[in-house]
Amino acid sequence: MAAPIEERVSVPIDDPNADTEWNEILRKHGIIPNKPPSPTPFIEEAILESRRLAHENRLEGKDLDELDELEDLEDEDFIAKYRQKRMQEIERLYKKATHGTVYPITKPDYAREVTDASTSFTVLVLLMSTNIESRKLSELWKQVACKYPEIKFCEIRAEMAIEGYPERNCPTILVYKEREILRQVVSLKSLGGLKVQVLDIEKLLQEVGAIEENDLRVTYNENE
């Protein structure tokens, strides 16, 4: 007569996750599963990686003057390499230069120089009159156009562009992209009035997405 088939023996286990000699024997024979890997090494690795990234990014947003101030606190070679990186970024921005000046336009030019051109790059149009506010913004217009040559800056007398356009609304800024008006700024009230500065126009450029929030050229302007 054949021997009876052995039934699986139920092995008493207090804590299958405990590091005991008995548990190791049971794991070796496949009676209980192996312990899952400890999460501690992964956590420690994540902490080290976050510290490394924080260290590498600690200089982001610093302008060249601030980098000079940090030279006594940081490794000189690292600062020099980082400064070189920032200068290369600025150089890349200016390599995209297409314009760099203000384009005086007339009404017949408008569709070609503004609407059509806005399919290739952001176009800003200044509707101006002879009032002091327009003259003030026109001077800043030249500075900003030179500083951001990848953007097209145009200028036209308001009454030439729109018949009967009220002088009290001048200067007016129109921002075009992809044949659409993204933003219009009527008069200098929202830009600080006669106290308007290049930085106020730069903030407008950031708001409409014409330049990045962290554009290095804006940082330089804030420290001039």
Say what the pLDDT of residue 67 is: 57
Say what the pLDDT of residue 72 is: 55
Say what the pLDDT of residue 153 is: 97
pTM of the shown model: 0.60
Residue 153 maps to a domain: yes
Residue 45 maps to a domain: no
106 & 174 share domain: yes
Say what the pLDDT of residue 44 is: 60
141 & 116 share domain: yes
112 & 152 share domain: yes
Residue 2 maps to a domain: no
pLDDT tens over the chain, length 224 residues: 444 444 445 555 556 666 676 667 666 766 666 665 555 555 566 556 655 665 555 555 555 566 565 555 555 666 666 667 767 766 666 666 678 899 999 999 999 999 999 999 999 999 999 999 999 999 999 999 999 999 999 999 999 999 999 999 999 999 999 999 999 999 999 999 999 999 999 999 999 999 988 887 885 555 54
Residue 58 maps to a domain: no
168 & 87 share domain: no
Distances, alpha carbon 206 to alpha carbons 58, 117, 146, 203, in Å: 23, 20, 17, 5
CB atoms under 10 Å from CB of 204, counted, come to: 19
106 & 204 share domain: yes
73 & 123 share domain: no
Structural domain span for residue 175: 102-208
92 & 115 share domain: no
Say what the pLDDT of residue 24 is: 73
The Cα–Cα gap between 33 and 24 comes to 10
Residue 55 maps to a domain: no
Of 96, 120, 141, the residue at which a domain comes to its end is: 96
Of 80, 96, 112, the residue at which a domain comes to its end is: 96
Of 43, 75, 96, the residue at which a domain comes to its end is: 96
Beta partners for 137?
Answer: none
189 & 112 share domain: yes
* DSSP state string for 30-83: TSSPPPPPPSHHHHHHHHHHHHHHHHHTTTTT--HHHHHHHTTTS-HHHHHHHH
Q: What is the domain-level CATH number for residue 190?
A: 3.40.30.10
Residue 133 maps to a domain: yes
Residue 126 maps to a domain: yes
85 & 132 share domain: no
Number of domains in the chain: 2
Residue 152 maps to a domain: yes
80 & 122 share domain: no
69 & 167 share domain: no
76 & 116 share domain: no
